[in-house]
Structure 1
């Protein structure tokens, strides 16, 4: 890191944050604070929706996930375009018709107060945890680059995002996300171009893709019906559909983004923007990770990408074991690079038998190098049982710091940090608005003035920021950040979606049946997640929770009969 890198990094993240705070400093109207500017265009909405979902975890963790396990994670998004069409056609018109601040106001209007509070609390629980993980991600970067204490970095990162979110509310979030997303797209395109330019000149781009595919990194679609597999086309289409329906249709962090539109058309176009461009963007990020894997087949990678953990234990009592593994890894990696060259040369020849032999030798060398990495993780765990022995979140960061020119390093770090700020700001804003609109009046048992609600929203924003920072201090317990966020969401999203589907399509069912059905369904999902005898992909939790809520609502409505009172839905 040079002075130029620091100027680019700090100038970008602090400049955008201060600009958002300054532009919205006089924002004292509740509607503007919670919903944003009523004149927001569809382009800003589209970028804001995308930026809310594309946190720092997306750009920090997804390349590493692809580096380790290939591109199968892209299947997670296959149900998203369908979900966005449904949200635009069904959810959005009802929200705008009722002129709600939060999605859970609709549950209150359709059912009753207890059901509204339950839906809000399920959102607050899962999104509060997820906000902590999104703060933790950029803190890894700053602490690694600057050598700062990780806990201190988490606190400072949280303080920055709390500053401008408290000041400007939803309008500040949308305003800053537009510029942060521009930085993100420019930075990732730059990283992709530099990575391709640094590939060995002796091999064509097609050859490099063949290497990635041969070593299992381009397997993006899996038609297997195995429910134990985390990512298949079926879990992506069905589980991903219900995950996306719940996220975009009932998660206040997203609902708040597209309710900012000045018209139904603007909000719908913003959602369709994401339906078209979201999967290609995620595919490009995963492809970046696969190409990073190929790059490190010719350029020797670290044996363990988390340099801080490696350096600490290599200097300790297990240092001899770790250094011996590093030496073996260097020898095997050099041999593997030669075997890859030999295989690519044999492929271009006219001897299929020689190509097959060279391919088998390449796979054997790769398997040996992977075995050494597994032994290294075991050695680190033996040295410190509390150490995080997965290093995929550090793969892209290692490439940035070791192989990009100065100035661009600062830009790429600003990309990841900008993504963290934009996503976390949206989450804190949504958590605060849900608390202020759905929980606060219930506790107060009276309607306050607009000024009081704005003040309460600001205090709740700061409070949830503190909660998120506190959880971030424990986020190092998770294995992969991008998966951790989706797992947390999948535990709760299906149940909340089920409540909304009953509200939309089962008009005769009342609040009491839905309330107890949701509690029972949430219990079922938690058993599926934490029971040692059940091993299914977390994406199916969305379908299980949703289906259980709908079915149990029908059953309980039949049992309760006339006692399951239905609230009349307001017409305007």
Structure 2
């Protein structure tokens, strides 16, 4: 990175932090601090909702996901527009009518305190873990840039976010996220057009898409009914729908965004805005990853994109073996380039048999390349099992650091770090609010001033920030960061969504039945995850994780119905004649 990159990066981040602190200083009461005084317009809500969901993981992991597995991940979002409509019609009017600060206040009004507390605790567990991961993601970036320790960087990033989140509350999160989304969208468009400009002169965008298609990177729709597949059309409109309903309808990090709206209409317009533009935005980010894949068909790529992994293996007794794999990798890259040139020529001449032959050759080379990379990962693990061998999350950052011009590197790093700060700020804001209002205030005896609860919310926000930093310090890359966050959410979200649906639509079911049904459901979902989804060294997934949202939601509703029926039967046994 050059001086210009550092100026752009540091200037962007300091502006966001300073602007957030200055714009929102001096919250008078809980309403002002938690709901931003209910002043947010629909565009602020829409951008804030998008920024909350679009973390650094989105811009770090999603291009890497597309690089390795193609565009199929976009199916994950197919249920989102329908979820936005349902939330606008059901959730938002109810929350505004009840004038709640948190989604879980409604559960106490409908059921009882213990059900409200259980739902709040489930939220705190999953969102607390996710907050740590959203801090860990940008730490990976700066670690690759600076060579600094990941734990040190997690602390620095966490502290930056804590400063303006604790100071300004929800309003600070909202006003900074508008600037962050502008930086994010601008940066991704710039990156996309630069990648296209770096392709060989004869490779047009249309031809680049065909090249990506030859390697099965453009398989957007998968109508396979196999539940083992993570991303299919069916899992997207079912599991994805339930996940989106739970996330946007019951997750306080999102609910708090639209509860700050000036009116029901402003909140609804903000969510509709998100429903319309979210899928195109994700499509663009995935397409950036696919274009990076095409770029590396004509340019040199490392055997493993994680620089720390390469350094570790080269300093180990396995360096010679790794060098042999690198020689094989270089040879495969030459073969790959020749095969793609052959494919490109066949496309221009419109020779069908030659196109098919070249495509088959590309598929064969890709299989050899995957095998070679897996062998490299195995060697790295033997050299140092503490080094992360999974390199999906390093693909895009490798391209940024090695191929983009000065100034643009700083902009793209600012994009990813801005996204990290926006989503982490929303999460800490929500975690502090839930802890202060749903647990502390609700269970604390005595009357206290509004300023007392503002201070308590700030203190709990700070505490959760420290916890998130701690989680980031012990995190690892798992399979892929964006998948890890969604897996964590899927384990809890279906259950919580089911509780809310019972509250909305099944008035005859009472608090005891729901509480115990939720406990049983959470245990069952965890067992399903560890037995059918959690990947063991010798096993494979038996179920796509998105289905957990549907299963959890359905289970809690069925079990609650059975418990309520049993309880009524015990209270009113049939009269013997």
1:100 matched to 2:107? The reply is no
Distance in 1 between residues matched to 2:59 and 2:86, nearest whole Å: 28
Aligned residue for 1:553? 560
Aligned residue for 2:575? none
Aligned residue for 1:207? 207
**Per-residue deviation, residues 230-272 of structure 1 (Å, max 9, x unmatched):** 1110000000000000000000000000011101100000000
Moved over 4 A (4+): none
Q: How many residues align?
A: 565
**Per-residue deviation, residues 177-202 of structure 1 (Å, max 9, x unmatched):** 11111111111111011111111112
Aligned residue for 2:232? 232
Aligned residue for 1:35? 35
Alpha carbons 2:532, 2:543 under 8 Å: kept: no
- Give ranges in structure 1 of 5+ residues lacking alignment: 565-572
C-alpha displacement of 1:365: 2.1
C-alpha displacement of 1:215: 0.3
**Per-residue deviation, residues 466-513 of structure 1 (Å, max 9, x unmatched):** 111111112215221000000000000000000000000001111000
C-alpha displacement of 1:172: 0.5
Alpha carbons 1:441, 1:447 under 8 Å: kept: no
Aligned residue for 1:404? 404
The equivalences for 1:101-500 within 5 A come to 101-349=101-349, 351-500=351-500
Alpha carbons 1:494, 1:546 under 8 Å: kept: yes
Aligned residue for 2:550? 543
SS at match of 1:36: helix
Aligned residue for 1:20? 20
Distance in 1 between residues matched to 2:141 and 2:515, nearest whole Å: 42
Alpha carbons 2:308, 2:387 under 8 Å: kept: no
Distance in 2 between residues matched to 1:546 and 1:244, nearest whole Å: 12
Distance in 2 between residues matched to 1:562 and 1:26, nearest whole Å: 55
C-alpha displacement of 1:447: 4.1
C-alpha displacement of 1:312: 2.1
Distance in 1 between residues matched to 2:343 and 2:142, nearest whole Å: 40
Distance verdict in 2 for CA 1:532–1:88, change over 3 Å = closer
Q: Which is worse superposed, 35-44 or 348-357?
A: 348-357
Alpha carbons 1:128, 1:431 under 8 Å: kept: yes
C-alpha displacement of 1:356: 2.7
**Per-residue deviation, residues 408-450 of structure 1 (Å, max 9, x unmatched):** 1000000000000000000000000001110002442344321
Aligned residue for 2:57? 57
Give the structure-1-normalised TM-score. Answer: 0.97
Distance in 2 between residues matched to 1:125 and 1:497, nearest whole Å: 15
Distance in 1 between residues matched to 2:561 and 2:353, nearest whole Å: 63
Distance in 2 between residues matched to 1:154 and 1:237, nearest whole Å: 35
Distance in 1 between residues matched to 2:564 and 2:102, nearest whole Å: 26
Give the structure-2-normalised TM-score. Answer: 0.96
C-alpha displacement of 1:39: 2.0
Alpha carbons 2:199, 2:295 under 8 Å: kept: yes
- Give ranges in structure 2 of 5+ residues lacking alignment: 534-540, 572-577
C-alpha displacement of 1:350: 5.3
C-alpha displacement of 1:352: 3.0
Distance verdict in 2 for CA 1:551–1:361, change over 3 Å = same
Alpha carbons 2:214, 2:362 under 8 Å: kept: no
**Per-residue deviation, residues 296-315 of structure 1 (Å, max 9, x unmatched):** 00011111101122122212
Alpha carbons 2:72, 2:221 under 8 Å: kept: yes
**Per-residue deviation, residues 345-397 of structure 1 (Å, max 9, x unmatched):** 12322543333333322222222222211111111122123322110100000
Aligned residue for 1:567? none
Distance in 2 between residues matched to 1:84 and 1:528, nearest whole Å: 28
**Per-residue deviation, residues 213-233 of structure 1 (Å, max 9, x unmatched):** 110111111000001111110
Distance verdict in 2 for CA 1:250–1:552, change over 3 Å = same
SS at match of 2:230: coil
Distance verdict in 2 for CA 1:108–1:350, change over 3 Å = closer
Q: Which is worse superposed, 72-81 or 358-367?
A: 358-367
Distance in 2 between residues matched to 1:255 and 1:217, nearest whole Å: 35
Alpha carbons 1:180, 1:419 under 8 Å: kept: yes
Distance in 1 between residues matched to 2:81 and 2:498, nearest whole Å: 19
Distance in 2 between residues matched to 1:227 and 1:411, nearest whole Å: 40
Distance in 1 between residues matched to 2:274 and 2:124, nearest whole Å: 24
Alpha carbons 1:71, 1:290 under 8 Å: kept: yes
C-alpha displacement of 1:563: 8.5
Alpha carbons 2:21, 2:164 under 8 Å: kept: yes
Distance in 1 between residues matched to 2:204 and 2:369, nearest whole Å: 24
Distance in 2 between residues matched to 1:563 and 1:81, nearest whole Å: 43
SS at match of 1:475: coil
Distance in 2 between residues matched to 1:172 and 1:375, nearest whole Å: 48
Distance verdict in 2 for CA 1:361–1:532, change over 3 Å = closer
